[in-house]
Amino acid sequence: MRIFDPHIHMTSRTTDDYQRMAAAGVRALVEPAFWLGQPRTGPGSFADYFDSLVGWEPFRAAQFGIRHHATIALNPKEANDPRCREALALVPRYLDKDSVVAVGEVGYDAMTPEEDEVFAAQLAMAVEYELPALVHTPHRDKARGVDRTLAVVEESGLAPERVVVDHLNEVTVAAVHDAGCWMGFSIYPDTKMSPDRMVDILRDHGLDRILVNSAADWGRSDPLLTLRTGEAMLAAGFTADDVDKVLWRNPVEFYGQSGRLDLTESAATAATFEGSSILRGGS
Amino acid sequence: MDLHNPWLDAGVARVAADPAAITRLFAAAARHCGRADLPDPPGWTADQAARARLLLALPATELPGRLDDLYRHGDATEKLAVLKALPLLPIGAAAVPLLHDAIRTNDTRLVAAALGPYARHLDQAAWRQAVLKCVFMGIPLAVVDGLTDRADPELAVMTAGLRDEREAAGRPFPDDARTLLDKIETEV
């Protein structure tokens, strides 16, 4: 099983996790910019984080033959903090980087006027930089948040097939399906979605325009839940080709719209000399 | 750098006329010029050669500030391209802080690139630490420009210390570092 995790916060994971993911079949991933568990206090903190997403994390991933791409944005939670607002001005510069394949995570957290403004501004950047957009949906008041999200996306002029609306569930999937956007699902041990519930959604809505991710962030999460979802699909009677479509070809198709997805095998080891510091356990 | 294509030639002309244009052109260079290894000069890729041409097109007064900005806000391949271009640029020792930054990272590509010919501007203490870091990280010492000329007894003491630690732990110690140690100790 080859796996492309289209949304995983590797910054919060140990290097051992990269090793386990590679062993489980993960060959590529996209790490969206979001918060860091602890709120940031200014734009400098964002610059360091964005640098890491286009520098250190791809290097760390390459040690295990995993291709690492990123999405860049000022996230909706911190769009509300005036100390962090200047980070919005940093975003365009990072949208020019080779490994940045979308604008994201944008969207709503608490649906404030500040979030409205930052969301719209960053969708306009997606249009300008010809990139897809990864849209986070709120965990509270989700159904209305999704409706409002879809209205803002429509107004932005960004084509729906260039937008993934993420963290969906049984209640919110239909509206996104009907809007023509891609549907993202985060599989978690307890919250959001489980592998078995994901299989039911695939049965009801088909395999097109669906992205399955582990998100794997600072909460209780598991970077191998993409694999577990593939296994649950097979157990439920889906074919190996169906699994490959959902866990590999769909994310390749979605992020491929950036024109920047680089999945060449040889590059996987280009970042290492014989026995790199990480594999050797160096500091 | 004799890499030419229409995108790059136009970019070089633009940078000469409008230095601020280098920011976006530098980031986009690999998408337009590729990333393949070049036969000449050896050890260079197409994007590195393209980025070096863009840097060489900057007016001298703009170069130090732009160079620093492109490195600080660059992804790993842009940082690498800046480091590789340093010996070709008319900047004297002004870019030494960038070498210190690269040597602080744990990205083997950046550490190796920081030890090219421009490392002659590093003071001896920083240079020794960087060479030892190569041994520690498993970077081949062949990347270090002028290694045997610059190696001194203090580097031998430091390298021997690492060798003793590795041997005590039953862990391997690189052959090229052993060769270096033999050479310094023979000369002293």
How far is the alpha carbon of A6 from chain B, nearest alpha carbon, in Å? 21
Pick the residue from chain B with its C-alpha nearest to A51. B75
- Mean pLDDT throughout A212-236? 94
Per-residue pLDDT, B53: 97
Report the residue of chain A nearest B112, measured CA to CA. Answer: A273
Q: In this structure, which amino acid lies at residue A56?
A: W
Mean pLDDT of chain B: 95
Where would I find the beta strands (DSSP E) of A73-223? 100-107, 133-136, 163-165, 182-186, 210-213
Confidence of residue B70 (pLDDT cuts 50, 70, 90): very high
Greater pLDDT, B188 or B87: B87
CB A31 within 8 A of CB A57: yes
For the whole model, what pTM was predicted?
A: 0.91
Chain B residues within 8 A of A59 when measuring between CB atoms: 76, 107, 109
Residue A280 binned pLDDT confidence (cut-offs 50, 70, 90): very low
Q: Sign of torsion, CA A252 A257 A258 A264?
A: positive
List the one residue out of B77, B108, B28, B44 whose CA is nearest residue A272. Answer: B108
- Do A278 and B106 count as a contact with CB atoms less than 8 A apart? yes
A160: tokens are 């729906």
Q: What is the pLDDT of residues B122-143, one digit of tens each?
A: 999 999 999 999 999 999 999 9
Stated as kind and residue range, the H or E segment containing B53 is helix B46-56
Q: What would the mean pLDDT of A257-274 be, rounded to a whole number? A: 68
**Residue A35: helix, strand or coil by DSSP?**
coil
Give the pLDDT confidence score for residue A269 in this predicted structure: 46
Which chain A residue is nearest to residue B76, measuring alpha carbons? Answer: A55
Structure tokens given for B46: 């197409």
A145-198 pLDDT, tens per residue? 999 999 999 999 999 999 999 999 999 999 999 999 999 999 988 777 899 999
Residue B76 has its nearest CB partner, among A55, A260, A272, at A55
Q: What number of residues does chain A have?
A: 283
Cβ atoms of B162 and B136 closer than 8 Å: yes
Cis before A105 (ω within 30): yes
pLDDT at A120 over 50: yes
Q: Is the model's pLDDT at A272 over the cut of 60? A: no
**Residues in chain A closer than 8 A to B23 (CB atoms):** 93
Higher pLDDT, A272 or B168: B168
Measured between alpha carbons, how far is residue B114 from residues A187, B131, B144 in Å? 42, 10, 9
At residue B175, does pLDDT exceed 90?
yes
What DSSP character marks residue A187? B
pLDDT tier at A239 (50, 70, 90 boundaries)?
very high
The stretch B15-27 carries a mean pLDDT of 98
Taking 80 as the threshold, does the pLDDT of residue A279 lie above it?
no
- Contact: B27, A275; criterion CB under 8 Å: no
Q: Mention every residue, 6+ apart, whose C-beta is less than 8 A from residue A264.
A: none
β-strand partners of A164: A134, A182
pLDDT for residue A270 = 45
Task: Characterize A109-128 residue by residue with b for buried, 16 or more Cβ atoms within 10 angstroms of its Cβ, and e for exposed.
Answer: bebeeebeebbeebbebbee
A47 → chain B, closest CA residue = B73
> Is the complex ipTM higher than 0.85?
yes
Tokens for A31, please give them.
């790490």
Residue A277, min C-alpha distance to chain B (Å): 5
Half-sphere exposure of A200 (CA within 13 A, CB side): 8
Give the whole-angstrom CA distance, residue A16 versus residue A31.
17
Whether B108 sits inside 8 A of A272 (CB atoms) is: yes
Query: Which residue in A250, A213, A248, A218 sits closest to A228, CA to CA?
Result: A213
Q: How many helices (H) and strands (E) does chain A have?
A: 13, 8
- Asked if pLDDT for residue B147 goes beyond 90, the answer is yes
Q: What residues in A contact B78, CB-CB < 8 Å?
A: 97
Mutation pick from B106, B139, B165, B166 vs chain A, by most beta carbons of A within 10 Å, is B106
